[in-house]
Structure 1
Amino acid sequence: IFFRLRIISSQMRGTHSVVLLLLWSMLCTQGTVVEMPSKPDSTQISIPWTGLTHRDLWDEYNNIFRYGNRNAASHLWSSFLLQRSAQMTQDRLEFMFKGFCAISGSPVGPHDYNRYYLELSNVTGGKRGGYMHYCCWPCVCDTQDFIKVDTKTIMTAQGPKRYHFAVIGNPCDHAEKLREPFVQPRVYGRRQTTLANEAREVRCANGELQGATMSDNGYVIIAMFFDLGADKGDTSMTVPQHPPQPGRMTLVDGVLVQNEYEYKNMCEERAQNGYNSGMGEIFRKVAAISPISPVSPV
Protein backbone atom coordinates (compact mmCIF):
# COMPACT_ATOMS: atom_id res chain seq x y z
CA ILE A 1 0.00 0.00 0.00
CA PHE A 2 2.67 2.49 1.00
CA PHE A 3 4.70 1.73 -2.16
CA ARG A 4 1.63 2.41 -4.30
CA LEU A 5 0.89 5.62 -2.38
CA ARG A 6 4.44 6.91 -2.86
CA ILE A 7 4.13 6.42 -6.62
CA ILE A 8 0.77 8.18 -6.69
CA SER A 9 2.10 11.01 -4.54
CA SER A 10 5.11 11.57 -6.81
CA GLN A 11 2.87 11.68 -9.86
CA MET A 12 0.22 13.95 -8.33
CA ARG A 13 2.12 16.53 -6.30
CA GLY A 14 -0.09 18.54 -3.95
CA THR A 15 -3.15 16.30 -4.36
CA HIS A 16 -3.06 15.09 -0.76
CA SER A 17 -6.82 14.69 -0.58
CA VAL A 18 -6.73 12.12 -3.42
CA VAL A 19 -3.99 10.16 -1.68
CA LEU A 20 -5.90 10.12 1.61
CA LEU A 21 -9.07 8.93 -0.08
CA LEU A 22 -7.18 6.10 -1.81
CA LEU A 23 -5.60 5.04 1.47
CA TRP A 24 -8.98 5.08 3.21
CA SER A 25 -10.52 3.02 0.39
CA MET A 26 -7.73 0.42 0.45
CA LEU A 27 -7.91 -0.03 4.20
CA CYS A 28 -11.69 -0.33 4.18
CA THR A 29 -11.56 -3.07 1.55
CA GLN A 30 -9.34 -5.03 3.94
CA GLY A 31 -11.95 -4.84 6.71
CA THR A 32 -10.39 -1.91 8.58
CA VAL A 33 -12.59 1.08 9.48
CA VAL A 34 -10.77 4.42 9.51
CA GLU A 35 -12.34 7.39 11.35
CA MET A 36 -11.73 10.55 9.35
CA PRO A 37 -10.56 13.50 11.48
CA SER A 38 -13.27 15.94 12.56
CA LYS A 39 -13.14 19.51 11.32
CA PRO A 40 -11.66 21.83 13.97
CA ASP A 41 -13.72 24.73 15.33
CA SER A 42 -12.48 27.55 13.11
CA THR A 43 -13.75 30.20 15.53
CA GLN A 44 -11.41 29.11 18.33
CA ILE A 45 -7.98 30.65 18.79
CA SER A 46 -5.43 28.04 19.77
CA ILE A 47 -2.89 30.43 21.32
CA PRO A 48 -3.31 30.00 25.10
CA TRP A 49 -4.88 32.86 27.04
CA THR A 50 -4.28 32.61 30.77
CA GLY A 51 -6.42 35.53 31.97
CA LEU A 52 -8.14 34.88 35.29
CA THR A 53 -9.27 38.34 36.41
CA HIS A 54 -11.17 41.20 34.86
CA ARG A 55 -7.94 43.19 34.96
CA ASP A 56 -6.41 40.54 32.71
CA LEU A 57 -9.27 41.06 30.26
CA TRP A 58 -8.98 44.85 30.40
CA ASP A 59 -5.24 44.56 29.71
CA GLU A 60 -6.22 43.21 26.28
CA TYR A 61 -8.01 46.48 25.46
CA ASN A 62 -5.54 47.65 22.81
CA ASN A 63 -5.55 44.23 21.17
CA ILE A 64 -9.34 44.18 21.02
CA PHE A 65 -10.02 47.80 20.03
CA ARG A 66 -7.59 48.90 17.34
CA TYR A 67 -9.31 51.89 15.76
CA GLY A 68 -9.62 54.44 18.51
CA ASN A 69 -12.45 53.65 20.94
CA ARG A 70 -14.85 51.03 22.27
CA ASN A 71 -18.10 53.00 21.77
CA ALA A 72 -20.97 50.60 20.98
CA ALA A 73 -18.41 47.85 20.32
CA SER A 74 -19.05 45.27 23.02
CA HIS A 75 -19.35 42.68 20.26
CA LEU A 76 -15.53 42.73 20.25
CA TRP A 77 -15.24 42.03 23.99
CA SER A 78 -17.68 39.16 23.46
CA SER A 79 -15.85 37.70 20.48
CA PHE A 80 -12.50 37.88 22.25
CA LEU A 81 -13.90 35.65 25.00
CA LEU A 82 -15.92 33.35 22.75
CA GLN A 83 -12.92 32.71 20.51
CA ARG A 84 -11.09 31.40 23.58
CA SER A 85 -14.02 29.72 25.32
CA ALA A 86 -12.69 26.19 24.78
CA GLN A 87 -9.75 27.11 27.02
CA MET A 88 -12.02 28.19 29.88
CA THR A 89 -14.24 26.47 32.39
CA GLN A 90 -17.86 27.58 32.34
CA ASP A 91 -17.42 29.51 35.59
CA ARG A 92 -14.39 31.34 34.24
CA LEU A 93 -16.12 32.25 30.97
CA GLU A 94 -19.21 33.53 32.78
CA PHE A 95 -17.06 35.50 35.22
CA MET A 96 -15.16 37.19 32.39
CA PHE A 97 -18.40 38.23 30.67
CA LYS A 98 -19.22 40.34 33.74
CA GLY A 99 -16.21 42.58 33.11
CA PHE A 100 -17.63 45.03 30.55
CA CYS A 101 -20.75 47.05 29.79
CA ALA A 102 -22.87 45.82 26.89
CA ILE A 103 -24.01 49.33 25.94
CA SER A 104 -20.93 51.54 26.23
CA GLY A 105 -18.19 48.94 25.93
CA SER A 106 -16.60 50.34 29.09
CA PRO A 107 -14.64 48.02 31.39
CA VAL A 108 -16.77 47.27 34.46
CA GLY A 109 -15.85 45.96 37.89
CA PRO A 110 -18.98 43.94 38.74
CA HIS A 111 -20.64 44.34 42.15
CA ASP A 112 -24.12 44.30 43.66
CA TYR A 113 -24.90 47.93 42.87
CA ASN A 114 -24.21 47.74 39.13
CA ARG A 115 -26.13 44.48 38.66
CA TYR A 116 -29.46 45.24 36.99
CA TYR A 117 -32.41 42.89 36.58
CA LEU A 118 -34.33 43.13 33.30
CA GLU A 119 -37.03 41.24 31.46
CA LEU A 120 -36.21 41.25 27.76
CA SER A 121 -37.92 39.82 24.70
CA ASN A 122 -36.54 36.63 23.20
CA VAL A 123 -35.96 36.91 19.46
CA THR A 124 -38.17 33.84 19.07
CA GLY A 125 -40.97 35.26 21.22
CA GLY A 126 -41.80 35.51 24.89
CA LYS A 127 -39.82 37.14 27.69
CA ARG A 128 -36.77 36.15 29.68
CA GLY A 129 -35.62 37.51 33.02
CA GLY A 130 -31.97 37.95 33.87
CA TYR A 131 -29.31 40.48 34.73
CA MET A 132 -26.35 42.36 33.33
CA HIS A 133 -23.69 44.64 34.82
CA TYR A 134 -23.59 48.22 33.53
CA CYS A 135 -21.30 51.22 33.79
CA CYS A 136 -24.24 53.54 34.59
CA TRP A 137 -28.03 53.53 34.92
CA PRO A 138 -28.90 55.01 31.45
CA CYS A 139 -27.77 51.70 29.97
CA VAL A 140 -30.95 50.20 31.44
CA CYS A 141 -33.06 52.45 29.21
CA ASP A 142 -31.09 51.65 26.05
CA THR A 143 -31.29 47.93 26.82
CA GLN A 144 -35.06 48.09 27.18
CA ASP A 145 -35.38 49.83 23.82
CA PHE A 146 -33.04 47.76 21.65
CA ILE A 147 -31.60 44.58 23.15
CA LYS A 148 -33.20 41.17 22.76
CA VAL A 149 -32.16 37.70 23.97
CA ASP A 150 -31.00 34.81 21.81
CA THR A 151 -29.08 31.58 22.35
CA LYS A 152 -25.81 30.06 21.22
CA THR A 153 -24.10 26.82 22.21
CA ILE A 154 -20.53 27.54 23.28
CA MET A 155 -17.66 25.08 23.57
CA THR A 156 -15.93 25.30 26.95
CA ALA A 157 -13.19 23.28 28.61
CA GLN A 158 -15.98 21.20 30.18
CA GLY A 159 -17.80 20.65 26.92
CA PRO A 160 -20.59 22.51 25.09
CA LYS A 161 -23.12 24.65 26.95
CA ARG A 162 -26.11 26.59 25.65
CA TYR A 163 -26.08 30.19 26.83
CA HIS A 164 -28.42 33.15 26.54
CA PHE A 165 -26.90 36.31 25.10
CA ALA A 166 -27.88 39.95 24.72
CA VAL A 167 -28.12 40.69 20.99
CA ILE A 168 -28.83 43.52 18.57
CA GLY A 169 -29.52 43.59 14.85
CA ASN A 170 -26.65 43.78 12.37
CA PRO A 171 -25.86 47.47 11.64
CA CYS A 172 -24.07 46.37 8.49
CA ASP A 173 -27.43 45.54 6.94
CA HIS A 174 -27.38 49.27 6.12
CA ALA A 175 -23.73 50.23 6.36
CA GLU A 176 -24.34 53.55 4.62
CA LYS A 177 -26.07 54.84 7.76
CA LEU A 178 -22.77 54.79 9.63
CA ARG A 179 -21.75 57.83 7.59
CA GLU A 180 -24.95 59.82 7.91
CA PRO A 181 -24.35 63.05 9.88
CA PHE A 182 -26.22 63.73 13.11
CA VAL A 183 -26.00 66.33 15.87
CA GLN A 184 -24.99 65.25 19.36
CA PRO A 185 -27.12 66.36 22.36
CA ARG A 186 -26.29 69.67 24.03
CA VAL A 187 -24.33 68.01 26.83
CA TYR A 188 -21.92 66.77 24.14
CA GLY A 189 -21.60 70.20 22.53
CA ARG A 190 -24.29 69.91 19.83
CA ARG A 191 -21.60 69.13 17.31
CA GLN A 192 -22.24 67.36 14.03
CA THR A 193 -20.64 63.97 13.66
CA THR A 194 -21.19 60.46 12.27
CA LEU A 195 -21.23 56.96 13.71
CA ALA A 196 -18.20 56.14 11.58
CA ASN A 197 -16.33 58.74 13.62
CA GLU A 198 -17.88 58.14 17.05
CA ALA A 199 -18.09 54.33 16.93
CA ARG A 200 -14.97 53.49 14.97
CA GLU A 201 -14.97 49.80 15.84
CA VAL A 202 -18.36 49.34 14.16
CA ARG A 203 -16.91 48.43 10.78
CA CYS A 204 -18.55 46.62 7.89
CA ALA A 205 -17.29 44.44 5.06
CA ASN A 206 -19.66 42.86 2.55
CA GLY A 207 -22.59 43.25 4.90
CA GLU A 208 -20.86 41.67 7.89
CA LEU A 209 -19.97 43.39 11.16
CA GLN A 210 -16.25 42.86 11.51
CA GLY A 211 -15.25 40.83 14.55
CA ALA A 212 -18.81 39.98 15.57
CA THR A 213 -20.03 36.59 16.75
CA MET A 214 -23.57 35.83 15.66
CA SER A 215 -26.26 34.11 17.73
CA ASP A 216 -28.31 31.08 16.71
CA ASN A 217 -30.78 33.28 14.84
CA GLY A 218 -28.17 35.49 13.22
CA TYR A 219 -27.96 38.49 15.55
CA VAL A 220 -24.91 40.30 16.94
CA ILE A 221 -23.83 39.05 20.38
CA ILE A 222 -22.82 41.99 22.60
CA ALA A 223 -22.92 40.42 26.09
CA MET A 224 -24.06 37.43 28.11
CA PHE A 225 -27.54 37.59 29.65
CA PHE A 226 -27.22 36.00 33.08
CA ASP A 227 -29.96 33.82 34.53
CA LEU A 228 -31.08 34.24 38.12
CA GLY A 229 -31.01 30.79 39.66
CA ALA A 230 -31.57 27.42 38.02
CA ASP A 231 -34.47 27.33 35.57
CA LYS A 232 -35.64 30.78 36.63
CA GLY A 233 -34.94 32.53 33.36
CA ASP A 234 -38.39 32.08 31.86
CA THR A 235 -40.27 33.43 34.87
CA SER A 236 -41.10 37.05 35.58
CA MET A 237 -40.44 39.05 38.71
CA THR A 238 -43.58 40.34 40.39
CA VAL A 239 -44.11 43.99 39.44
CA PRO A 240 -43.29 46.09 42.51
CA GLN A 241 -46.22 47.85 44.15
CA HIS A 242 -44.16 50.79 45.39
CA PRO A 243 -43.22 53.90 43.36
CA PRO A 244 -39.91 53.64 41.46
CA GLN A 245 -36.89 54.45 43.59
CA PRO A 246 -33.50 54.40 41.80
CA GLY A 247 -30.85 52.66 43.85
CA ARG A 248 -33.25 50.38 45.71
CA MET A 249 -31.86 46.84 45.97
CA THR A 250 -34.03 43.75 45.57
CA LEU A 251 -33.15 40.17 46.50
CA VAL A 252 -33.98 37.68 43.73
CA ASP A 253 -33.03 34.02 44.17
CA GLY A 254 -30.39 35.08 46.68
CA VAL A 255 -28.87 37.68 44.33
CA LEU A 256 -29.02 41.43 45.00
CA VAL A 257 -30.09 43.41 41.94
CA GLN A 258 -31.48 46.76 40.96
CA ASN A 259 -34.78 46.17 39.20
CA GLU A 260 -35.23 47.96 35.88
CA TYR A 261 -38.61 49.12 37.22
CA GLU A 262 -36.85 51.50 39.60
CA TYR A 263 -35.58 53.52 36.61
CA LYS A 264 -38.91 53.81 34.79
CA ASN A 265 -39.37 57.53 35.47
CA MET A 266 -35.72 58.37 34.86
CA CYS A 267 -35.75 56.60 31.49
CA GLU A 268 -38.84 58.54 30.46
CA GLU A 269 -37.21 61.81 31.53
CA ARG A 270 -34.01 60.94 29.69
CA ALA A 271 -35.97 60.32 26.49
CA GLN A 272 -37.71 63.68 26.86
CA ASN A 273 -34.30 65.36 27.20
CA GLY A 274 -32.90 63.84 24.03
CA TYR A 275 -30.87 61.03 25.61
CA ASN A 276 -28.44 63.48 27.17
CA SER A 277 -26.74 61.03 29.52
CA GLY A 278 -24.89 57.76 29.37
CA MET A 279 -23.69 56.97 25.85
CA GLY A 280 -26.04 59.59 24.47
CA GLU A 281 -27.24 58.55 21.04
CA ILE A 282 -24.21 56.57 19.88
CA PHE A 283 -25.32 53.09 20.93
CA ARG A 284 -28.94 53.90 20.20
CA LYS A 285 -28.17 54.96 16.64
CA VAL A 286 -26.04 51.87 16.00
CA ALA A 287 -28.72 49.54 17.37
CA ALA A 288 -31.50 51.38 15.52
CA ILE A 289 -29.95 50.79 12.09
CA SER A 290 -31.36 47.26 11.93
CA PRO A 291 -33.67 46.80 14.93
CA ILE A 292 -34.87 43.32 15.84
CA SER A 293 -38.58 43.10 15.15
CA PRO A 294 -40.68 41.55 17.92
CA VAL A 295 -42.22 38.17 17.18
CA SER A 296 -45.98 38.35 16.91
CA PRO A 297 -47.83 35.89 19.15
CA VAL A 298 -49.40 32.98 17.30
Structure 2
Amino acid sequence: MDISQPANESHNARLCCIHGGRHRAMIDEDDLADAALHAKEPTQQFRYVERLALRRLQTTTNFDETHVFDDFDYMSAVLPAAQAFGISELADWKLPSRSEDEWAMICRDFRAAATMISQRIMFEHAARATSDPNTVALGPVAKEKLRFHLAQLRSIVDSERVADWQKQDILGAISRLEREIEKVRTPLSAVFDIVAKVWDGDTKLRDAVHQVLVILQDENNLEKEIASIAATTKKALGRAETKQLPPPRPARKGKETSPFDDEIPF
Protein backbone atom coordinates (compact mmCIF):
# COMPACT_ATOMS: atom_id res chain seq x y z
CA MET A 1 0.00 0.00 0.00
CA ASP A 2 1.20 3.53 -0.75
CA ILE A 3 1.63 5.11 2.68
CA SER A 4 1.60 8.57 1.11
CA GLN A 5 -2.15 8.07 0.64
CA PRO A 6 -3.71 7.38 4.06
CA ALA A 7 -6.62 4.98 3.74
CA ASN A 8 -10.21 6.23 3.57
CA GLU A 9 -9.21 9.89 3.86
CA SER A 10 -11.28 12.39 1.88
CA HIS A 11 -12.28 16.05 1.98
CA ASN A 12 -15.18 15.37 4.28
CA ALA A 13 -13.64 12.51 6.24
CA ARG A 14 -12.96 13.01 9.95
CA LEU A 15 -14.32 16.55 9.87
CA CYS A 16 -13.45 17.98 13.27
CA CYS A 17 -16.19 19.71 15.21
CA ILE A 18 -15.54 23.14 16.68
CA HIS A 19 -16.71 23.74 20.25
CA GLY A 20 -16.12 27.13 21.81
CA GLY A 21 -13.33 27.96 19.36
CA ARG A 22 -11.44 24.73 20.09
CA HIS A 23 -11.17 21.52 18.07
CA ARG A 24 -9.99 18.01 18.66
CA ALA A 25 -6.38 17.00 17.95
CA MET A 26 -5.26 16.71 14.35
CA ILE A 27 -3.88 13.18 14.97
CA ASP A 28 -5.51 10.73 17.38
CA GLU A 29 -4.89 7.21 18.67
CA ASP A 30 -6.78 5.62 15.77
CA ASP A 31 -4.43 7.34 13.34
CA LEU A 32 -1.38 5.96 15.16
CA ALA A 33 -2.91 2.49 15.01
CA ASP A 34 -3.41 2.94 11.26
CA ALA A 35 0.23 4.02 10.92
CA ALA A 36 1.39 0.85 12.67
CA LEU A 37 -0.87 -1.24 10.44
CA HIS A 38 0.20 0.25 7.11
CA ALA A 39 3.92 0.83 7.76
CA LYS A 40 6.48 -1.46 9.39
CA GLU A 41 9.47 0.80 9.95
CA PRO A 42 9.43 3.78 12.38
CA THR A 43 10.49 6.20 9.65
CA GLN A 44 7.64 5.01 7.43
CA GLN A 45 5.20 5.37 10.32
CA PHE A 46 6.41 8.94 10.75
CA ARG A 47 5.81 9.57 7.05
CA TYR A 48 2.30 8.16 7.33
CA VAL A 49 1.50 10.52 10.22
CA GLU A 50 3.13 13.51 8.51
CA ARG A 51 1.27 12.94 5.23
CA LEU A 52 -2.02 12.55 7.12
CA ALA A 53 -1.42 15.74 9.11
CA LEU A 54 -0.55 17.68 5.95
CA ARG A 55 -3.65 16.38 4.18
CA ARG A 56 -5.88 17.45 7.06
CA LEU A 57 -4.17 20.81 7.26
CA GLN A 58 -4.92 21.45 3.60
CA THR A 59 -8.37 19.89 3.18
CA THR A 60 -10.29 19.76 6.48
CA THR A 61 -12.71 22.68 6.58
CA ASN A 62 -15.67 23.98 8.53
CA PHE A 63 -19.09 24.37 7.01
CA ASP A 64 -18.21 27.95 6.05
CA GLU A 65 -15.16 26.64 4.09
CA THR A 66 -12.63 28.06 6.58
CA HIS A 67 -9.77 25.74 7.49
CA VAL A 68 -10.03 23.85 10.76
CA PHE A 69 -6.26 23.48 11.27
CA ASP A 70 -3.23 25.74 10.87
CA ASP A 71 0.55 25.26 10.90
CA PHE A 72 0.60 25.32 14.71
CA ASP A 73 -1.72 22.31 14.78
CA TYR A 74 0.48 20.59 12.19
CA MET A 75 3.61 21.13 14.25
CA SER A 76 1.80 20.08 17.45
CA ALA A 77 1.01 16.72 15.80
CA VAL A 78 4.13 16.05 13.71
CA LEU A 79 6.85 17.12 16.18
CA PRO A 80 5.90 14.50 18.84
CA ALA A 81 5.67 11.91 16.05
CA ALA A 82 9.19 12.80 14.89
CA GLN A 83 10.48 12.46 18.45
CA ALA A 84 8.64 9.16 19.02
CA PHE A 85 9.79 7.61 15.73
CA GLY A 86 13.41 8.75 16.04
CA ILE A 87 13.61 11.42 13.31
CA SER A 88 16.81 13.04 14.56
CA GLU A 89 16.70 16.00 12.15
CA LEU A 90 13.54 17.28 13.85
CA ALA A 91 14.41 16.34 17.44
CA ASP A 92 15.73 19.80 18.42
CA TRP A 93 12.73 21.78 17.23
CA LYS A 94 10.66 23.47 19.96
CA LEU A 95 6.96 24.17 19.65
CA PRO A 96 6.42 27.92 20.04
CA SER A 97 3.56 29.54 21.90
CA ARG A 98 0.79 31.19 19.91
CA SER A 99 1.51 34.34 21.92
CA GLU A 100 4.98 34.62 20.35
CA ASP A 101 5.31 37.14 17.53
CA GLU A 102 6.99 34.72 15.12
CA TRP A 103 5.09 31.50 15.93
CA ALA A 104 3.53 31.32 12.45
CA MET A 105 6.92 31.60 10.70
CA ILE A 106 8.49 28.99 13.01
CA CYS A 107 5.65 26.56 12.33
CA ARG A 108 5.87 27.13 8.57
CA ASP A 109 9.62 26.50 8.64
CA PHE A 110 9.03 23.30 10.60
CA ARG A 111 6.44 22.14 8.07
CA ALA A 112 8.91 22.73 5.23
CA ALA A 113 11.60 20.72 7.04
CA ALA A 114 9.23 17.87 7.95
CA THR A 115 7.87 17.68 4.40
CA MET A 116 11.38 17.46 2.96
CA ILE A 117 12.30 14.65 5.37
CA SER A 118 9.06 12.85 4.54
CA GLN A 119 9.90 13.02 0.85
CA ARG A 120 13.40 11.68 1.52
CA ILE A 121 11.93 8.74 3.42
CA MET A 122 9.67 8.03 0.45
CA PHE A 123 12.67 7.75 -1.88
CA GLU A 124 14.71 5.72 0.62
CA HIS A 125 11.89 3.20 0.91
CA ALA A 126 10.93 3.23 -2.74
CA ALA A 127 8.37 0.46 -3.13
CA ARG A 128 8.64 -2.32 -5.64
CA ALA A 129 5.64 -4.06 -7.13
CA THR A 130 4.12 -6.40 -4.56
CA SER A 131 3.51 -8.95 -7.31
CA ASP A 132 7.22 -9.22 -8.14
CA PRO A 133 8.16 -12.84 -7.25
CA ASN A 134 11.84 -11.85 -7.05
CA THR A 135 11.29 -9.63 -4.01
CA VAL A 136 10.07 -10.18 -0.46
CA ALA A 137 8.56 -7.92 2.20
CA LEU A 138 10.48 -8.32 5.46
CA GLY A 139 8.94 -7.88 8.88
CA PRO A 140 10.67 -5.91 11.68
CA VAL A 141 11.85 -9.09 13.45
CA ALA A 142 13.33 -10.53 10.25
CA LYS A 143 15.12 -7.26 9.53
CA GLU A 144 16.62 -7.20 13.01
CA LYS A 145 17.87 -10.78 12.59
CA LEU A 146 19.35 -9.95 9.19
CA ARG A 147 21.18 -6.92 10.56
CA PHE A 148 22.71 -9.14 13.26
CA HIS A 149 23.83 -11.88 10.87
CA LEU A 150 25.14 -9.41 8.30
CA ALA A 151 27.23 -7.75 11.01
CA GLN A 152 28.63 -11.18 11.89
CA LEU A 153 29.28 -11.91 8.22
CA ARG A 154 31.10 -8.60 7.83
CA SER A 155 33.30 -9.46 10.83
CA ILE A 156 34.15 -12.86 9.35
CA VAL A 157 35.04 -11.34 5.98
CA ASP A 158 37.30 -8.78 7.66
CA SER A 159 39.28 -11.60 9.28
CA GLU A 160 39.49 -13.71 6.13
CA ARG A 161 42.86 -14.07 4.41
CA VAL A 162 41.81 -13.14 0.91
CA ALA A 163 42.92 -10.57 -1.62
CA ASP A 164 41.88 -7.00 -0.81
CA TRP A 165 39.88 -6.66 -4.03
CA GLN A 166 37.94 -9.82 -3.22
CA LYS A 167 37.31 -8.69 0.35
CA GLN A 168 36.03 -5.31 -0.84
CA ASP A 169 33.83 -7.05 -3.40
CA ILE A 170 32.15 -9.16 -0.70
CA LEU A 171 31.82 -6.22 1.70
CA GLY A 172 30.23 -4.19 -1.06
CA ALA A 173 27.63 -6.90 -1.61
CA ILE A 174 26.91 -6.99 2.13
CA SER A 175 26.46 -3.21 2.17
CA ARG A 176 24.04 -3.44 -0.72
CA LEU A 177 21.90 -6.03 1.10
CA GLU A 178 21.98 -3.90 4.27
CA ARG A 179 20.50 -1.02 2.26
CA GLU A 180 17.95 -3.19 0.49
CA ILE A 181 16.49 -4.74 3.65
CA GLU A 182 15.48 -1.26 4.82
CA LYS A 183 13.18 -0.82 1.82
CA VAL A 184 9.57 -1.93 1.53
CA ARG A 185 10.55 -4.98 -0.52
CA THR A 186 13.96 -6.62 -0.73
CA PRO A 187 15.23 -8.13 -4.00
CA LEU A 188 16.38 -11.71 -3.60
CA SER A 189 19.18 -10.97 -6.04
CA ALA A 190 20.92 -8.95 -3.31
CA VAL A 191 21.52 -12.06 -1.20
CA PHE A 192 22.25 -14.27 -4.20
CA ASP A 193 25.04 -11.84 -5.05
CA ILE A 194 26.65 -12.53 -1.66
CA VAL A 195 26.22 -16.28 -2.10
CA ALA A 196 28.03 -16.17 -5.44
CA LYS A 197 30.93 -14.21 -3.96
CA VAL A 198 31.53 -16.43 -0.89
CA TRP A 199 30.78 -19.83 -2.44
CA ASP A 200 34.47 -20.73 -2.51
CA GLY A 201 35.08 -19.42 1.02
CA ASP A 202 35.58 -21.51 4.16
CA THR A 203 32.81 -23.28 6.07
CA LYS A 204 32.42 -20.51 8.64
CA LEU A 205 31.75 -17.98 5.90
CA ARG A 206 29.25 -20.20 4.08
CA ASP A 207 27.41 -20.98 7.33
CA ALA A 208 27.00 -17.27 8.05
CA VAL A 209 25.53 -16.70 4.59
CA HIS A 210 23.26 -19.73 5.07
CA GLN A 211 21.71 -18.05 8.13
CA VAL A 212 20.84 -15.04 5.99
CA LEU A 213 19.35 -17.27 3.29
CA VAL A 214 17.16 -19.13 5.80
CA ILE A 215 15.65 -15.88 7.12
CA LEU A 216 14.83 -14.63 3.63
CA GLN A 217 13.43 -18.02 2.61
CA ASP A 218 11.18 -18.17 5.68
CA GLU A 219 9.84 -14.66 5.01
CA ASN A 220 9.28 -15.50 1.35
CA ASN A 221 7.37 -18.69 2.21
CA LEU A 222 5.28 -16.81 4.80
CA GLU A 223 4.39 -14.15 2.25
CA LYS A 224 3.33 -16.80 -0.28
CA GLU A 225 1.20 -18.55 2.35
CA ILE A 226 -0.54 -15.31 3.30
CA ALA A 227 -1.14 -14.49 -0.37
CA SER A 228 -2.59 -17.97 -0.95
CA ILE A 229 -4.96 -17.62 2.01
CA ALA A 230 -6.03 -14.17 0.83
CA ALA A 231 -6.66 -15.44 -2.71
CA THR A 232 -8.69 -18.41 -1.43
CA THR A 233 -10.76 -16.15 0.81
CA LYS A 234 -11.38 -13.68 -2.00
CA LYS A 235 -12.44 -16.51 -4.32
CA ALA A 236 -14.84 -17.92 -1.72
CA LEU A 237 -16.35 -14.50 -1.10
CA GLY A 238 -16.72 -14.01 -4.86
CA ARG A 239 -18.65 -17.27 -5.17
CA ALA A 240 -20.92 -16.26 -2.31
CA GLU A 241 -21.67 -12.90 -3.92
CA THR A 242 -22.50 -14.41 -7.31
CA LYS A 243 -24.74 -17.12 -5.90
CA GLN A 244 -28.34 -16.36 -6.94
CA LEU A 245 -31.71 -17.48 -5.75
CA PRO A 246 -33.35 -20.17 -7.91
CA PRO A 247 -35.67 -18.80 -10.64
CA PRO A 248 -39.44 -18.92 -10.00
CA ARG A 249 -41.30 -22.00 -11.21
CA PRO A 250 -42.82 -21.56 -14.67
CA ALA A 251 -46.59 -21.03 -14.79
CA ARG A 252 -48.72 -24.02 -15.77
CA LYS A 253 -50.19 -23.81 -19.25
CA GLY A 254 -53.84 -22.96 -19.54
CA LYS A 255 -54.14 -21.84 -15.96
CA GLU A 256 -53.87 -18.38 -14.53
CA THR A 257 -51.21 -18.18 -11.88
CA SER A 258 -51.92 -17.00 -8.40
CA PRO A 259 -49.78 -16.64 -5.28
CA PHE A 260 -52.13 -19.15 -3.68
CA ASP A 261 -51.83 -21.87 -6.38
CA ASP A 262 -49.44 -23.99 -4.33
CA GLU A 263 -51.04 -26.94 -2.66
CA ILE A 264 -51.93 -26.48 0.97
CA PRO A 265 -50.25 -29.27 3.00
CA PHE A 266 -53.38 -30.34 4.98
Identify whether the pair has TM-score above 0.5, normalized to the shorter chain.
no
Q: Name the structure where strand makes up a greater proportion of residues.
A: 1
What interval of TM-score do these two structures reach, taking the shorter chain for normalisation? Answer: under 0.3
Greater relative contact order (Cα < 8 A, sep 6+): 1
Taking structure 2 as the reference length, the TM-score comes to 0.20
Taking structure 1 as the reference length, the TM-score comes to 0.19
